[in-house]
């Protein structure tokens, strides 16, 4: 996994203007102050890269991000822990939103709003509201989905299923979008829309999973209250200002360092033992299938017992329909969803070519991004160097796909329980399935001796595995419709 905070570092933006309170009153002006400290509520500001101290590659990425977005946003400032991934991410997002493609620009930003709103991600919704208006979008659409064109309203069903229960998508859902007499979608438009929806569902996971703070100029990113602990009110608390930086709070349970060091050693020992077992014997196909079903079943019972408040949510529900529809495990209440076998329909053999055929170059960009996230390593684990982390990365990726009912025939799912402990599984499932419920306590409770850059890398794996899982179900349904 990645490591070496000093080698790659993280990033922060300049603080708000500060003026003496008396001088403010004298001039009759109100000066905003940032509510948070740095780009993340979970990562101490001093452990992120300071703007101005970045290396040449990071500087180029910041310039590209600023040129594309018109700002250096906090997602970029956290992702830059991993410059190679950030470069691929920015290139893909730029292509989806701004380059030639089947959908008009204002539709693209509106679809981003619809997707982010499904997870109550007001941070992303607000960014795209501004972009939507900037490219000439009709402000009336922002009053609620019912004010948008019928064609976009028709996308609401696919949006909710992709976000919460993608295994339910069938070729009939695709047919309804492509074959309505009026307001029908073309195949190319639908592929563009599906990629945008999955991109923003997974980016909502990253935003909540890394505790991304709103920028000072965004809703929820500033206060006009004086910076005094004794002088804030309940409205500040509901807006996320607690008079004390969340980063300064003690981590969950204040675990002794020796205990968390032992956790790292134990994890490395398990990896070594599993590798030896692999070398000695291989489980039968029947046993592998049984282990997959067991892990899939167990994943249903991984749930958080959190009562801690997650990030304050602002109401963005007007941007989607059926607000009560959310994530449900696929085998609840006697429902049985057939296992999605990767050898029958995979990204490499099927999804990639379909996307590239209907929306040229996007398949290539996505493929590169998936590979970078999956293969990214600095051969470190916490304080250890020269470590092969491929087994751990594969366990994380395959556990996410397992939660979506997707099975790799050549993988022994017994490894997952050996490598991922319960607190880590809770974090993974929350970030991937119900990201709006992610809390700092969950973030602090797994891999307690690992670098923040390593936890950000975990989030990159979660984001890309989730996006690929959603895409696989949607693209399989489109393929079945076409054949």
Q: Are 225 and 231 in contact (CB under 8 A)?
A: yes
Q: Is 124 exposed, middle or buried (0-12, 13-18, 19+ CB in 10 A)?
A: buried
User: What sign does the dihedral 307-312-315-317 (CA atoms) show?
Assistant: negative
The neighbouring-strand residues paired with 430 are: none
How far is the C-alpha of 199 from the C-alpha of 206, rounded, in Å? 11
Tell me the torsion sign for CA atoms 246, 249, 255, 258: positive
List Cα–Cα distances, 98 to 72, 93, 94, 265, in angstroms: 17, 8, 6, 47
For helices 285-299 and 390-403, what crossing angle results, to 10°?
A: 70
d(CA 459, CA 344): 28
Q: What Rg, from alpha-carbon coordinates, does the chain have?
A: 23
Q: Kindly name the residue from 121, 210, 402, 433 that is annotated as catalytic.
A: 121
Q: For residue 121, indicate whether it is catalytic.
A: yes
Instruction: Assign 278 to helix, strand or coil.
Output: helix
Beta-strand pair 384-385/406-407: unpaired
Active site residues: 121
């Amino acid at each position: 996994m990645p490591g070496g905070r000093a080698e790659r570092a993280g990033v922060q933006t300049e603080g708000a203007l500060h003026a003496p309170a008396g001088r403010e009153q004298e001039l009759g002006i109100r000066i905003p102050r940032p509510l948070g400290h740095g780009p993340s509520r979970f990562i101490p500001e001093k452990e992120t890269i300071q703007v101005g101290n970045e290396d040449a590659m990071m500087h180029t990425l910041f310039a590209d991000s600023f040129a594309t977005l018109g700002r250096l946003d906090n997602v970029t400032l956290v992702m830059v822990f991993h410059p190679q991934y950030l470069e691929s991410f920015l290139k893909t997002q730029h292509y989806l939103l701004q380059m030639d493609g089947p959908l008009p620009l204002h539709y693209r930003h509106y679809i981003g709003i619809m997707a982010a709103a499904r997870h109550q991600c007001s941070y992303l919704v607000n960014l795209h509201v501004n972009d939507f208006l900037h490219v000439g979008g009709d402000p009336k659409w922002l009053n609620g989905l019912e004010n948008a064109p019928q064609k976009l309203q028709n996308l609401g069903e696919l949006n909710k299923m992709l976000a919460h229960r993608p295994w339910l998508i069938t070729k009939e859902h695709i047919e309804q979008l492509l074959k309505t007499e009026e307001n029908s979608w073309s195949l190319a438009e639908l592929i563009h829309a599906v990629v945008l929806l999955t991109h923003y569902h997974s980016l909502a996971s990253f935003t909540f999973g890394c505790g991304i703070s709103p920028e000072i100029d965004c809703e929820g990113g500033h206060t006009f209250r004086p910076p005094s602990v004794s002088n804030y009110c309940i409205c500040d608390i509901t807006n996320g200002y607690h008079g004390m930086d969340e980063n300064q709070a003690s981590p969950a349970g204040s675990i002794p360092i020796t205990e968390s060091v032992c956790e790292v050693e134990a994890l490395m020992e398990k990896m070594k033992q599993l590798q030896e077992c692999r070398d000695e014997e291989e489980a039968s196909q029947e046993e592998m299938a049984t282990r997959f079903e067991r892990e899939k079943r167990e994943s249903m019972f991984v749930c958080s017992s959190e009562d801690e408040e997650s990030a304050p949510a602002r109401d963005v529900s007007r941007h989607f329909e059926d607000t009560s529809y959310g994530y449900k495990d696929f085998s609840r209440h006697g429902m049985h969803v057939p296992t999605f076998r990767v050898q029958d329909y995979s990204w490499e053999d099927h999804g990639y070519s379909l996307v590239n055929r209907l929306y040229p170059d996007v398949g290539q960009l996505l493929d590169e991004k998936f590979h970078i996230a999956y293969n990214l390593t600095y051969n470190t684990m916490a304080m250890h160097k020269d470590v092969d982390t491929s087994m751990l990365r594969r366990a994380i990726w395959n556990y996410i796909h397992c939660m979506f009912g997707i099975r790799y025939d050549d993988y022994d799912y017994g490894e997952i329980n050996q490598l991922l402990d319960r607190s880590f599984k809770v974090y993974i499932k929350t970030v991937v399935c119900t990201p709006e419920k992610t809390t700092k306590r969950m973030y602090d409770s797994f891999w307690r001796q690992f670098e923040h850059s390593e936890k950000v890398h975990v989030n990159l794996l979660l984001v890309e595995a989730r996006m690929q899982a959603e895409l696989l179900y949607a693209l399989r349904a489109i393929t079945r419709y076409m054949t």
